[in-house]
Amino acid sequence: MEMSAGFIVVLAILVFAVVTIAKGVRIVPQGEEWIVERLGKYHGTLHPGLSIIIPYLDRIAYKLVTKDIILDVQEQEVITRDNAVILTNAISFIKVTDPVKAVYGVVDFSEAIRNLIMTTLRSIIGEMDLDEALSSRDKIKARLRESIADEAVDWGLTVKSVEIQDIKPSESMQRAMEMQASAERERKAVVTRAEGEKQSAILQAEARLEAAKRDAAAQVTLAESSAESFRRVTQAIGSEPLPVMYMLGERYVAALSRLSAADNAKVIVLPADLQDALRGLLGRRD
């Protein structure tokens, strides 16, 4: 019985020693830093590698990843300055540079950064019109990163980058924009059609004006030609009636030929004495 009790005591001491050593020896993996508290108060930070702590007095309170952390900012509705509703979401890359501030400066630094990005994003887009917000991703990203940088430093964080994943109008806004675009296209079509009709009317008026000018010029030229013809004929025949009678008779015969060739010509009456008829037209001369 005494030997059995002694064995149990030894075994208990060995177990206690193993557990104590296990609690006192810590191996921190690369890319992490651990926060040590002694009796509930911050005591130190364990860096990657082998470290020794005092068991039962010290404890590992927090284990922080010092690699870049990816934070996905959920999609949210944002109202622009011209009261348009758009949907936007973002993604942020942060890094813990001061583990003490990260764990003691804020309850949950990941959630804090995520909410800070959301509220700042709403504030920035709220100062823009819809068209400006949809076309200014780089501007929004730069202002967003600048706005949250100071807060992040107070929390022991460095904001490496903030990217706007998507920014688009809401479904109702998309329908309104489609209707507006359709109305704008229809307005442009009406304006283009009216402009075409106006140009056509102008061209037609100019064509009529040019035709009238040419007709007038042609009539003037024809009158001048006729006058010149009469002048030359008068000069050529002088006071002799026979050439005049010959010319009139020739035209008379030509006119009768055209009358006889017409489809509605029924009866053509010719004078018995063509010469006397022509003389009657000119007036008898003794």
Give the pLDDT confidence of 70-120 residue by residue, as tens digits.
Answer: 999 888 888 888 888 888 889 999 999 999 999 998 888 999 999 999 999
Rounded Cα distance between 80 and 129, Å, is 6
Portion of the chain with pLDDT greater than 90, in percent = 16
Per-residue model confidence (pLDDT) at position 286? 47
- Cβ–Cβ < 8 Å for 62, 99: yes
Per-residue model confidence (pLDDT) at position 34? 92
Q: Where are the domains of the chain?
A: 2-65, 69-169, 172-238, 239-286
Per-residue model confidence (pLDDT) at position 212? 86
For residue 49, pLDDT beyond 60: yes
Phi, psi of 64 (to 5 degrees): -110, 140
233: pLDDT confidence band, cut at 50, 70 and 90?
low
8-state DSSP, 279: H
Name the one residue in this structure whose structure tokens are 């307005």: 187
Domain 69-169: assigned CATH number: 3.30.479.30
Q: Tell me the pLDDT tens digit for each residue of 1-40.
A: 556 777 777 778 888 788 888 888 888 999 899 999 998 8
For residue 128, pLDDT beyond 70: yes
147: pLDDT confidence band, cut at 50, 70 and 90?
confident
Q: What is the mean pLDDT of residues 32-52?
A: 90
Name the one residue in this structure whose structure tokens are 């050439």: 243
8-state DSSP, 128: S
Nearest to 61 by CA among 30, 39, 79, 84: 39
139 vs 177 pLDDT, higher one:
139
C-alpha count within 13 angstroms, C-beta hemisphere, residue 214: 6
Global pTM value: 0.57
For residue 154, pLDDT beyond 80: yes
